[in-house]
Amino acid sequence: MPDDHAERSVDLTNCDREPIHLLGRVQSFGCLLAVAPDWTVVQASANTEEVIGHAAEALLGQRLDTVVSASVRDDLRRRMHVLGSDGQAARIYAYDMFGDGRRFDLSIHITGDLCVIEMEPEIGAPNRDDLAMVQPLIARVRAQSTFEEAAQKAALGLKRLTGIDRVMVYRFGEDGAGTVVGEAMEPGMDPYLGLHYPASDIPKQARALYLRNLLRLIGDVDDPTHPILSVPEREDQPLDLSMAVTRAVSPIHIEYLRNMGVGASMSVSILRRGKLWGLFACHHSEAFHVDYQRRSAIELFAQLFSYELAQLETEAEMAEIERARQLHDRLMAQISSGDDIADGFETMAEEIGAVIPHDGIALYVKGRFHVRGSAVNEEEMLGLARFLNGAEPGTVYSTDRLAEVYPQAENFADRAAGILALPISRTPRDYIVLFRREQRQTVTWAGNPEKAVQQGPNGPRLHPRKSFEAWSEVVRGRSAPWRAAEQRAAEALRVTLLEVVLKLSDEAQDAARRAQEQQELLIAELNHRVRNILNLIRGLVSQGRGGATSIEAYHRVLDDRIHALALAHDQLTQTDYSWISIRELIANEIGAFLSQKGDRLKIEGDAVEVSPSAFTTLALVIHELVTNSAKYGALSDSSGWVAVTIAQQGDGAVMLRWVEHDGPPVRAPQRRGFGTTIIERSIPFELKGTAQVSYKVSGLEAEFRLPAQHVRLQEAPAEGAAAPAPAAGPQETRIDGQALVVDDNMIIAMDAGDMMSDLGASRVHTAASVPEALRILGTEAIAFALIDINLGSEISLPVALACREAGIPAILATGYGAREEVIGRYPVMPVVRKPYTLTHVRQAMAELAARSAAAG
């Protein structure tokens, strides 16, 4: 009995240590001679007398040409010379070796310094053409569209070619284990299709031999076989039988076949790109011999099947590449236009799943976590990301045994045993990780590869499986492996997503830069316009007094002009308007700044409207033209005038011409201020139009092209439409009692208080906050209230509601736009726009009185 240690250390990998190419025996269906370069027979199998009629002992030490004719000797020498040392074998069929009419099939190959000649009696039927059967059988394989169908047809075809009981197509996995993927067998036999075989079933040295010697025949598992005898000087040099077709079989493999009830077997290599892809594994229930000619036809069949296999796998690879390319295109279209890659996560997960099957997917980008399916949680992802940061940067990382390299994964092995991680940032930080669950699926094996050691006829080893009833192994701590094609698709996907992320990052940087530039532009424009407005107000104050005959008249003119300026500003900055007439835009600017010179601007041409998106830009340009003309150009004195021409072009664009006449001589500015920049660059930059400005002595000339998408012809009013009725003048209204002014600006509150006094208020109370206003309403008899909507940190809605509840007439004041949402929250009250005048307050009071009368 072997010791305990020997039993514990034995498994099927022991077969890897067996020198199966040096067994020193041959099978009975042929004999073997090894000939030195001088034609001396130095080794011979003990069965030469049974096969060729010459005893091995008599042949050893003799020259081969003593038993063959000179012509045969010369023919064999020529064939040996052609062989050289390329490791290939020469085949000769139906050869009259000894000149006596007996025919043999020969195989000749070189090993070391010896030429090995193997001979088998020819047993083929006359005029038999096995090769003719190969093409029709391969044609049936070629007609199949899937690998599974092709494998099944190949198994059936080889069975028909050989007549053997069972033919299996046996495919090796990446871990060396095999799976039966095609099978043809006699009725009543137990099927092996779908069974798995451990990698140890085929030892490493056997796999190496399958690459060199493509067909292996075991004609009879009960064959006693025959030793190879040697001349004395070579007895310590066992003959390498790697390329020998008659090589005997390992006793361990014979045990294996007997346990399966197999009497004879044959294995034919299936190669793919120079590697062992799989085997045709053939079993027969009793001794079965396949002669050399048919074996050659079988090898041809296997080679042609390899070509068809290559075609099918190439087509499958191309289909996978195409799916990956389509995934690239779809993801680029769906994600690249979004604000963030996470925006399309759900869609992206579905698209990836169609190409790379997975159980869960997680996105970890910029510290944010998104997950779908069976995967890790956010805390687990943080640890996993730190682990992935230590992997090789810029490449896809995959494993089907995560816990072996990252022990913390034991905590979530049931959810994620294998990962495929795609880094999607320039530095290790952001990832998309695909997860596969622990493979707790039943794998059907052809026997248990972990059976206990038993004492076999050939010593202590794992006795090849006594029972071949299917058993189940639950694979723990492992996921389904990530195939090479899936990893290639993942790498392509990584590049795609990296492109998207970098594109979005660049776009974000560009947007931030544009926002910064726009902010700087707006600040400069605000500063410029505030200064212009202050200068304009100063001009209005200083110039308006020239024609005034009294303080009251001067106040009235100045008040009206400031309000006109406010109206133009309101029109310029509002955001909820529709298309606006260019003529109206220009008229508002002229009316605001040059109310006495409006007749000195002549507008001709088409009635054109400008879109809301282009209005602000055009208004800025017109404002600068009007302002500059009023300061330095035709509108700065009493004689000049301006001609404005508006003309729509054939392509829908509009040409706007501004030409100044009869003004003072014009000189080009010495430096380009902000106003000049607005005139010359706003329309090209913002609207993609053109601008040409000429500073002629006779007057400034400017021509602007507004693209078609920003302008349209103005619709004519409907025929018979009534003209708007002239606005009625404000009725004489008075305040009978005390008034309340609510405003957080002291100067405005004081000005409004003066207005209330002018309207007859006996006393005016002012409040800067809601609590103060409510206190006054609760303690004083207020007859009228003027309430500013915005009080800085709060709005005055409670004050307005309190006035309504108490029946106190009130009007609202605001600097917001006419449709500002906040106004809609207030009770229905007249609204005056800042800056308002006494006239506007009177109009609002008249409106209030009219509503009260209508309601009464």
Q: How confident is the model over 442-468, as pLDDT tens digits?
A: 566 665 555 444 455 544 443 444 444
Q: What is the pLDDT of residue 567?
A: 53
Q: What is the pLDDT of residue 309?
A: 86
Please say if the pLDDT value at position 150 is more than 50.
yes
Higher per-residue pLDDT: 494 or 166: 166
Lowest mean pLDDT among 147-156, 182-191, 436-445: 436-445
Tell me what the pLDDT averaged over the chain comes to.
80
Please say if the pLDDT value at position 698 is more than 90.
no
pLDDT one-digit tens code per residue, 719-739 = 433 333 334 444 567 899 999
Using a pLDDT cut of 90, give the percent of the chain over it.
33
Return the CA Rg of the chain. Answer: 50
Q: What is the pLDDT of residue 672?
A: 65
Confidence of residue 510 (pLDDT cuts 50, 70, 90): low
How large is the average pLDDT for residues 125-132? Answer: 75
Q: What is the pLDDT of residue 635?
A: 86
Contact 730, 846 (CB under 8 A): yes
Contact 46, 226 (CB under 8 A): yes
Q: What is the pLDDT of residue 561?
A: 52
- Token pair in block for residue 511: 């947007």
**Whole-angstrom Cα distance, residue 399 to residue 517?**
48
Alpha-carbon separation of residue 167 from 129, 178, 283 (angstroms): 22, 15, 7
pLDDT one-digit tens code per residue, 757-797 = 999 999 999 999 999 999 999 999 999 999 999 898 889 99
**Whole-angstrom Cα distance, residue 417 to residue 420?**
11
Query: CB-based burial of residue 146 (10 Å sphere; 0-12 exposed, 13-18 middle, 19+ buried)?
Result: exposed
Give which of 264, 302, 297 is closest to 283, Cα–Cα: 264
**Whole-angstrom Cα distance, residue 13 to residue 252?**
12
Listed in sequence order, the residues at least 6 apart from 477 whose beta carbon sits closer than 8 Å to its beta carbon are 401, 403, 404, 413, 417, 438
Alpha-carbon separation of residue 264 from 164, 261, 595, 688 (angstroms): 9, 9, 115, 85
**Whole-angstrom Cα distance, residue 412 to residue 422?**
20
Q: What is the pTM of this model?
A: 0.53
pLDDT one-digit tens code per residue, 359-412 = 999 988 877 889 999 889 999 999 999 998 888 877 889 998 899 999 998 889
Contact 434, 418 (CB under 8 A): no
Please say if the pLDDT value at position 833 is more than 90.
no
Residue listed under structure tokens 């064939």: 79
Listed in sequence order, the residues at least 6 apart from 319 whose beta carbon sits closer than 8 Å to its beta carbon are none
Residue listed under structure tokens 């006829």: 457
Q: What is the pLDDT of residue 801?
A: 95
**Whole-angstrom Cα distance, residue 671 to residue 664?**
20
Residue 395 C-beta-side C-alpha neighbours within 13 Å: 6
Please say if the pLDDT value at position 598 is more than 80.
no
pLDDT one-digit tens code per residue, 76-110 = 888 887 775 556 788 888 899 998 989 999 999 99
How large is the average pLDDT for residues 151-166? Answer: 93
Give the burial string for 749-766 (b: 16+ CB within 10 Å, else e): bebbbebbeebebeebbb
**Whole-angstrom Cα distance, residue 569 to residue 555?**
21
Highest mean pLDDT among 211-215, 339-343, 546-550, 776-780 belongs to 776-780
How large is the average pLDDT for residues 682-703? Answer: 89
Using a pLDDT cut of 70, give the percent of the chain over it.
77
Please say if the pLDDT value at position 718 is more than 50.
no
Confidence of residue 152 (pLDDT cuts 50, 70, 90): very high
Q: Which domains does the chain have, with CATH numbers?
A: 12-121 (3.30.450.20), 131-226+234-314 (3.30.450.40), 320-439+478-504 (3.30.450.270), 561-713 (3.30.565.10), 738-855 (3.40.50.2300)
Cα 269–Cα 273–Cα 275 angle in degrees, nearest 5: 45
Q: What is the pLDDT of residue 786?
A: 96
Confidence of residue 331 (pLDDT cuts 50, 70, 90): low
